[in-house]
Amino acid sequence: MTAAPSPRRRLGGLVLLLAGALLAAAPSGAARAAAPAEPPALAAQSWADDFDGPAGSAVDPAKWTLETGGSGNGNHELQYYTAGAANAALDGQGHLVITAKRSTDAGLSCWYGTCQYTSARLNTARTFTQAYGHFESRIKIPRGQGIWPAFWMLGNDIGTAGWPNSGEIDVMENIGREPGTVHGTIHGPGYSGAGGIGAPYSLPAGQAFADAFHTFAVDWSPGAITWSVDGQAYQTRTPADLGGNRWVYDHPFFVILNLAVGGDWPGSPDGTSAFPQTMVVDYVHVTTSGTGPLPYTGRITGPGGMCVDVAGASSADRTPIQLHNCTGNAAQQWTVGTDGTVRALGKCLDVDAASHNDGAAVQLYTCNGTGAQQWAYGSGHDFVNTGSGKCLDSPNGSSADGTRLQLWTCNGTAAQRWTLG
């Protein structure tokens, strides 16, 4: 991104809050082999809030902690975060409404003097943390210069390791002067603040995110994080993107929702900024990774229940990968490893020539550790090639015997849905 966000997490109260809580994750005609092992457990919901409750009530304290204060959070933000339902309340229709408004309390003190705005910031640090999985929220964001909504995560060791060593995953951030664009970013040691690593996602045809609800998510596995908007994956980050810096996304994180006003990145409100502004959250859902315990060894099935197969059961480099009737032989025995590889016959699932192009052939090739051979299996049951950010795909959703598999832009269709087992 051209203007990466500056640190958002430096709130003294949060560190004190965490200090106690966080100290206390086509085959040959060989005879049919033995039946494949039982498939691992697939994705299961591990935490959720659908914000059901009477209008005007505060969020569930068994799920959320409201942070308070006007420190500026290391970014020169202008709001004072309040407790209770003053700026974060249910609407009685299954939504959480976080409201940023002009302050009428002359007794509220911020880093710059009397606070001009109030808002809310909620986290799950004391109630829920998880490593890996699918983290998703459906949100209608606000609009206007100086408005800064976010759905993000911090490592649960922030109270001891400090930021950025604890890691940060920004699932969605928007700054009001970019109504049609959101950003997904990671921050860690050597790549934090303006050096965070991420990318923007923009709506087509001049649409604004504030005009409707949109779903923001990450799929996080041991070796990759993939961001999506409305089911459309738009970037994947792996350790290879860090320029030798440390990948710190290997431990539990907690979830944060907040609506900031002003700050170094979005700038301050101006004469065009209207208040109050609301960030309306339909739900937050978290599921497990969907891979069960890794490594997994067994068949991988796709469209029509057909098996992913090494053509001709050949172990030669560049052998095509195809769909075939399930036979249980070695050409259909795949190991999904903790290292991000998918292997059969002693070699790796590979994208021909490390291509990022739609339609690139998927093949078997000698394992070499490149991004062309790194795959993340998400809770949507897709295999994302993390080197390209695109998905393993059956052309046109075909389930015909001998269909050659390819790389294609992730689209969430049945052509890209793969089951372990």
158 assigned to some structural domain: yes
Alpha helices in 150-258 (DSSP H): 158-161
* Better pLDDT: 19 or 204: 204
Domain boundary among the residues 287, 320, 349 is at 287
The mean-pLDDT minimum among 11-20, 221-230, 346-355 falls in 11-20
The answer to the question of residue 3 being in a domain is no
324 has a pLDDT exceeding 80 = yes
- Please check the confidence at residue 167 and state whether its pLDDT lies above 90: yes
Q: What pLDDT does residue 379 have?
A: 61
Q: How confident is the model at residue 222 (pLDDT cuts 50, 70, 90)?
A: confident
Q: Are residues 279 and 301 in the same domain?
A: no
91 and 159 both lie in a single domain: yes
Q: Kindly report the number of other CB atoms within 10 A of residue 83's CB atom.
A: 13
Let me know how long the chain is: 421
Judge whether residue 353 has pLDDT over 70. Answer: yes
34 inside domain: no
List the beta strands (DSSP E) in 362-413.
Answer: 362-365, 375-377, 383-385, 390-393, 406-408
Clarify whether residues 97 and 239 are in a common domain.
yes
What is the CATH classification number for the domain harbouring 344? 2.80.10.50
Mean pLDDT of the chain: 87
DSSP, res 160? H
Mean pLDDT of 36-44: 43
pLDDT at 404 over 50: yes
Average pLDDT score over residue span 152-180: 96
Does 274 lie in the same domain as 347?
Answer: no
Does 347 map to a domain? yes
Q: Are residues 274 and 329 in the same domain?
A: no
| Average pLDDT score over residue span 45-51 | 90
Q: Report CA-CA distances (Å) from 279 to 76, 116, 124, 323, 385.
A: 21, 19, 18, 45, 33
Select from 128, 39, 42 the least CA-distant residue to 379. 42
CA distances, 6 to each of 53, 139, 229, 287 (Å): 35, 23, 22, 29
pLDDT of 6 strictly over 90: no
Pick from 254, 287, 320: which residue ends a domain? 287
384, β-bridge pairs: 376, 391
* Token couple for 384: 């994302």
Domain count, the chain: 2
| Model pLDDT, residue 371 | 87
pLDDT value of residue 44: 67
Q: Are residues 321 and 411 in the same domain?
A: yes
| 224 and 82 in a common domain | yes
- Judged against a pLDDT cut of 90, whether residue 96 lies above it is answered with yes
| pTM exceeds cut of 0.85 | no
Residues that are catalytic: 168, 173
In sequence order, the 6+-apart residues with CB closer than 8 A to the CB of 78 are 72, 110, 112, 115, 116, 117, 146, 261, 262, 263, 268, 269
Question: What CATH number is attached to the domain comprising 100?
Answer: 2.60.120.200
Indicate the range of 98-112, 174-188, 324-338 predicted with least confidence.
Answer: 324-338
Write down the pLDDT at residue 287.
85
Please identify, among 287, 316, 343, the residue that sits at the C-terminal boundary of a domain.
287
Residue 76 is assigned to a structural domain of this protein:
yes
Residues 88 and 123 in one domain: yes
> Is 106 in the same domain as 224?
yes
Q: Do 242 and 369 share a domain, yes or no?
A: no
Question: Does residue 270 sit in the same domain as residue 129?
Answer: yes
Q: Is residue 4 part of a domain?
A: no
Local confidence band at 388 (pLDDT 50, 70, 90 cut-offs): confident
Domain range for residue 91?
Answer: 12-25+40-287
In a domain, 6, yes or no: no
272 lies in the same domain as 346: no
Work out the pLDDT band at 132, boundaries 50, 70, 90. confident
Residue 40: pLDDT over 70: no
Region 381-394: what's the mean pLDDT?
A: 88
User: Can you give the pLDDT at residue 377?
Assistant: 82
